[in-house]
A and B are shown apart, each in its own frame.
Chain A
Amino acid sequence: MIIVQQVSKSYRQSRFFKKRQSVVKAVDNVSLKIKEGSTFTLLGQSGSGKSTLGKILLGIEKPDNGEVLFDGMNVHNATGKKRKKLQQSMQVVFQDCHSAVNPKMKIKDIIAEPMLVNEKLVPMQIEERVGELLEMVGLSRDDMVKYPHQFSGGQLQRITIARAISTRPRLIILDESVNSLDVLVQISILKLLKRLQQELKLTYFFITHDLHAARLFSNEIAIMQKGRIVEHLLVGELEQAKHEATKALLNSRLTIDCIHNYLEHNEEQVV
């Protein structure tokens, strides 16, 4: 569905009082394909260019080279009706849900905002749709009249998901969407996303640094390091990863398995 062809993007970094500018290659010659209905995970450390690639996919950032095709349409050259269509079919859910919603707006208006850009609806219809969306993400219809501060992080993330699916998109970019949440809330959000994927035939582009979440949630994983995709595998193949960066990520897991080692170690000491 989405084809990314040899996309590069670099930023110039200028230093105060210094004439020389340094160039940072955020995304370096990246090509990938995302299949309809699947979850594609981009895994990497902070600063590896994951979010920049996400922005390029969305059409917010223009790449220096290469192109992004959505169903054959170039995302960055589309104009007029085509562009609007693209915007409707791509949505994004960010990491920090507190700064992703306007604290002065009611939940109803937050969720309805992207719909109203694209459609003309009368208030009755809006309420009906927002109610439906809230129920889909596991909240209640009555939450519509509340304000963001009345919700917890997990609930607020559900609201931003409701907003994302309000335009009936086909692709949702999840930019570290579960990372700032509590472990169990993370799992409940991932479960919700998976259910929505089946119900609405969504495609996900999941950006994360958390291997555990990636493993639970995705079909394909691409590992990014310094702007390049260094390895590309299916979830099941993770253990056979060859590249150093992937191995480093695999080894950086803080697992609770260590307790077994700890026990063995202690037993040795006793002996």
Chain B
Amino acid sequence: MLEVQNLSVHIQGKQVLRQVSLTVPKGKVVGIIGESGSGKSVLCSTILQLFRKDRKAAGTIKFNGDCLLSLEEKKMRSLRGKEIALIMQNPMSMFNPLVTIGGHFIETLQAHTSMTKKQAIKIAKEQLALFQLNDVDVLKKYPHELSGGMLQRIMIAISASLEPKLLLADEPTTALDTMTQLEIVKELKKLQAKTKMSILIVSHDLGVIANLAEEIIVMRRGVVVEYGPASHILLHPIHPYTKTLVAARDEHSTLDELNDKYEDTVSGELVLYDENHWVRMEDSSR
């Protein structure tokens, strides 16, 4: 479905992504984990071809046979939202404070289809019902009247209303507290099971990724350092950075046992370690 190959991105002459390759198969959930500044979000916005003018991208991004990097802006526009949807980190700042929730639905739906307002509202109600937000009042409310968790659920509902084939979720739970995080993860899981859409989820929280993704990509400093099935990576992490990340989530360790440092290995080649499990290793460590 989505195929990224040898993608390198330069922003203002600085390299932020180096030779990133990944595939998101149809109906699968792929998770990207990495520290802040590792290029996770840049990857998302490059897939959507946002900020095109400021970025120099090399490589290929293929989505359903279309090569996104060379697609003209007009066509790209019809893909954004309709085929590829994006959920962002901070739901509070993603909504227009002067427009009601219903207005947001209408705007999104009318941008891609020739729907009347009434039809749009009908779809909005159906979508909200799926997310247990049956309250008709929600549509008349303004963003500031709702909590962060609610807004994030509405955001997912809006992006799902156009039935996109691929959902990019850029840190969808980071700004929320743990209980709400769990709810959002459950919603996403339910949505995925129902619509069979592909999801690319980005987070720095291994817990979120572990609960959703079937495949995990570990990124650091703009390169992929480990790539493989979730079960492999979580049970037998190979790269020192992944090891530290997994250890940090261990329930039974104490603060003194945990590491906050890791060897700096972003060089070297990606080698096949196990079935479908790739690790970037330096020659000496092999």
Q: List A residues at the B interface (Cβ < 8 Å).
A: 45-47, 152-153, 180, 182-185, 187-188, 190-191, 194, 209-212, 215-217, 248-249, 252-259, 262-263
Docked-complex contact B255 and A194, CB < 8 angstroms = yes
Q: A184-B35, A184-B245 are in contact. Are A256 and B255 (CB under 8 A)?
A: no
Interfacial chain B residues near A256, Cβ < 8 Å: 206-207, 210, 234, 246, 249
Q: List 6 A-B contacts (CB under 8 A).
A: A183-B205, A184-B248, A187-B248, A254-B178, A259-B210, A262-B231
Q: Which among B67-75, B159-167, B179-187 touches the partner chain?
A: B179-187
| Assembled-state Cα–Cα distance A262/B231 (Å) | 8
| Assembled-state Cα–Cα distance A212/B259 (Å) | 15
Interfacial chain B residues near A255, Cβ < 8 Å: 207, 210, 249, 251
Docked-complex contact A248 and B179, CB < 8 angstroms = yes
Interfacial chain B residues near A45, Cβ < 8 Å: 177-180
| Assembled-state Cα–Cα distance A131/B35 (Å) | 29
- B interface residues, how many (CB within 8 angstroms): 38
| Assembled-state Cα–Cα distance A254/B262 (Å) | 24
B226-274 residues at the A interface, CB under 8 angstroms: 230-231, 234-235, 244-246, 248-249, 251, 254-255, 258-262
Interfacial chain A residues near B179, Cβ < 8 Å: 45, 209, 248-249, 252
Interfacial chain B residues near A254, Cβ < 8 Å: 178, 181-182, 185, 205, 207-208, 210-211
Q: Say yes or no for B134: interface residue by CB 8 A criterion.
A: no
Docked-complex contact B254 and A216, CB < 8 angstroms = yes
Q: List B residues at the A interface (Cβ < 8 Å).
A: 35-37, 147-148, 174, 176-182, 185, 204-208, 210-211, 230-231, 234-235, 244-246, 248-249, 251, 254-255, 258-262
Docked-complex contact B208 and A209, CB < 8 angstroms = no
Query: How many whole Å from B65's CB to the nearest CB in chain A?
Result: 32
Report, nearest first, the 5 A-B pairs whose CB atoms are least far apart: A254-B207, A188-B260, A209-B177, A256-B210, A252-B182
Docked-complex contact A253 and B177, CB < 8 angstroms = no
Interfacial chain B residues near A211, Cβ < 8 Å: 178
Docked-complex contact A259 and B249, CB < 8 angstroms = no
Interfacial chain A residues near B248, Cβ < 8 Å: 183-184, 187
Interfacial chain B residues near A263, Cβ < 8 Å: 231, 235
Query: How many whole Å from B74's CB to the nearest CB in chain A?
Result: 37
Q: A183-B245, A187-B248 are in contact. Are A258 and B178 (CB under 8 A)?
A: no
Interfacial chain A residues near B37, Cβ < 8 Å: 152
Docked-complex contact A185 and B260, CB < 8 angstroms = yes
User: In the complex, what residue of chain B is closest to A187 when comparing beta carbons?
Assistant: B260
Q: Which of A185, A210, A215 contacts B178 (CB 8 A)?
A: A210
Q: A46-B177, A254-B181 are in contact. Are A187 and B210 (CB under 8 A)?
A: no
Query: How many whole Å from B134's CB to the nearest CB in chain A?
Result: 22
Docked-complex contact B177 and A259, CB < 8 angstroms = no
Interfacial chain B residues near A188, Cβ < 8 Å: 260-261
Query: How many whole Å from B271's CB to the nearest CB in chain A?
Result: 24
Query: How many whole Å from A50's CB to the nearest CB in chain B?
Result: 10
| Assembled-state Cα–Cα distance A183/B178 (Å) | 14
Docked-complex contact B231 and A183, CB < 8 angstroms = no
| Assembled-state Cα–Cα distance A216/B205 (Å) | 17
User: In the complex, what residue of chain B is closest to A154 when comparing beta carbons?
Assistant: B36
User: In the complex, what residue of chain B is closest to A188 when comparing beta carbons?
Assistant: B260
